[in-house]
Amino acid sequence: MKRILSFACLAVLIVGATAAWMQSPQPKPYKVVFDLTSADPLDQRAVMRWIKEVSGLNPKNEMEVVMYGRGLDLVVSGKSTMTAEIAEALKTANVKFNVCAIAMKNQQVEKGQLLPNVQTVPDGIGEIVSKQNAGWGYIKVGH
């Protein structure tokens, strides 16, 4: 009887230790701003992939894509090849796509040409600097 009881206790300990080992703790949430200035489809796919990956690690991670220069093409209706992916990413409150108003003016893009739920900021570079000053991580999108 003692043998069976000892075996049962050992089995419970092994199962508990294995379960604890298999559950990896979720990483601490963080905030990151992506700097997109390129119309290159490889860069656009990269930033969308990163958003999925970062969200997958921890859904509480906050992300913002700031577009200026030729980066606007990602979110301009008729130019974007990733409309569905952007709409999917924007379903979470932790993802934002912000376009520089200066770049819009320089490229003669009107707010009505942007994909739904894409926002504008007065100055894309200023937005990135502001995020960095607030402790956000910074990633320059490129390949």
Which pLDDT score, from 0 to 100, does residue 93 have? 81
The sign of the CA dihedral 11, 15, 21, 22 is positive
The answer to whether residue 8 sits within a structural domain is: no
Local confidence pLDDT in tens for the 143 residues of the chain: 555 554 444 444 455 544 444 456 778 999 999 999 999 999 999 999 999 999 999 999 999 999 999 999 999 999 999 999 999 999 988 999 999 999 999 999 999 999 999 999 999 999 999 999 999 999 999 87
Output the domain CATH number for residue 54. Answer: 3.40.1260.10
Which pLDDT score, from 0 to 100, does residue 105 have? 97
Query: What is the enclosing helix (H) or strand (E) of 89?
Result: helix 83-89
The answer to whether residue 24 sits within a structural domain is: no
Which pLDDT score, from 0 to 100, does residue 9 have? 45
The answer to whether residue 110 sits within a structural domain is: yes
Q: Name the domain count of the chain.
A: 1
Which pLDDT score, from 0 to 100, does residue 26 have? 72
The answer to whether residue 36 sits within a structural domain is: yes
The answer to whether residue 64 sits within a structural domain is: yes
The answer to whether residue 107 sits within a structural domain is: yes
**Are residues 131 and 98 in contact, defined by beta-carbon separation less than 8 angstroms?**
no
